[in-house]
Amino acid sequence: MHLLPKFDFYEAYDMGEACKVLAEMKSEGKIIAGGTDIMVNMKKGLLSPKCLISLARIPGLSGIEPTSGGIAIGSNLIVSKLLEFDLIRKKYNLLSKAASVLGSPLIRNRATIGGNIVTARPAADLPPPLMAMGARVVLKSKGKERELALDDFLVGPGQTKIKSTEILVSIIVDEPPPFTGGDYIKLMHRNALEIAIVAVAVQITLDGPDGSIKNARVILSSVAPKAIHAVSAEKVLIGEKPTEKLFKKAAALASTDCTPITDIRGGAQYRCAMVETLTHRALSAALRQIKGK
């Protein structure tokens, strides 16, 4: 059995209290949401915070609120609940697709959307679709609040722009505009409890039913220190008509945008080849979604 190191446990009942305690702890306090990542790291001896501050009893942190142009998702919302909202399945299906392949059903019943972002694992499932949808994160500290694009928030493996006094409270996602489609494809050795070998999230928006591509986001995951934009693929897509030829060209460019490593899950060369295949498939699926096929 793996024993957890000793720590104090603080259960906050409102956000102000959580921020105050976190600030008082300096950098010795850590937030616990679902605990599926932090507890494993603590059991492995990689982390030993003096105090864990739980967000579980803070009201209003585990729901989805409408905003003027989309939704704000509470950071403490568990992944299985994310899958239960009709709104997410219908309008933000990219996100629900990624949520459905995260961990296992048991993990999804504890793991939270905020935790999946803050832990900043290079193969995390929720950041790629959220980046493809242009999501922003809201960070709160004692008396302060700031908003940051998820693109800028993630820095590298386990590293983000969050300060030791800040708590991620919500994730803001704009409603996909008309003529928008997307897809998330995760390549795995098995279908559960598995980390992606490569994952690709795509969202494209056309300027009309048969129009040109107005906006394109292509996100590659598990092939760089963090989820990244396939910048040259996005550049070649925008302004063009969505054709098979264009998608092939963009997919080939995407594989030049990544810098994968070789590890137990796959070789670097294989990962690059798979980036091309999955980007092509995801773009085609996104277009089919727009065309209603």
Partner 1 sequence: MKRIITLNVNEKEYEVAVAPNRTLAQVLREDLNLLGTKIGCDMGDCGACTVILDDRPVNSCLVLAVQANERKITTIEGVADGPHLHPVQQAFVEHGAIQCGFCSPGMILSAKSLLEKNSKPTEYEIREALSGNLCRCTGYQKIVEAVKAASQTMKK
Binding residues vs partner 1 (CB under 8 A):
1-9, 11, 32, 35-36, 39-40, 43, 52, 54, 56, 80, 103-107, 109-110, 191-193
Asked if 76 and 112 count as a contact pair (C-beta separation under 8 A), the reply is: yes
What are the b/e assignments for 89-125, b being 16+ CB within 10 Å? Answer: bebbbbbbbbbbbbbeeebbebbbbbbbbbbbbbbbb
Q: Which is nearer to partner 1, 80 or 215 (CB)?
A: 80
Q: How far apart are CA 251 and CA 245, in angstroms?
A: 10
Q: How far is the CB of 52 from partner 1 (least distance, A)?
A: 7
Nearest residue (CB) to partner 1, 84 versus 152: 84
| Shortest Å, Cβ 1 to partner 1 | 5
- Residue number, 101 or 268, with CB nearest to partner 1: 101
Let me know if 21 is exposed, middle or buried by CB neighbors in 10 A (0-12, 13-18, 19+).
Answer: middle
Task: Closer to partner 1 by CB, 101 or 285: give it.
Answer: 101
Name the minimum Å distance from CB 8 to partner 1: 6
Q: How far is the CB of 24 from partner 1 (least distance, A)?
A: 17
Structure tokens at 209: 């039913």
Residue type (1 letter), 188 = M
CB nearer partner 1, residue 85 or residue 153: 85
Shortest separation between residue 100's beta carbon and partner 1, angstroms:
9
107 or 148: whose CB is closer to partner 1? 107
Minimum CB separation of residue 30 from partner 1 in Å reads: 13
Task: Give residue 194's identity as a one-letter amino acid code.
Answer: E
Question: How many alpha carbons fall within 13 Å on the CB side of residue 163?
Answer: 17
Q: Which helix (H) or strand (E) holds 141?
A: strand 136-141
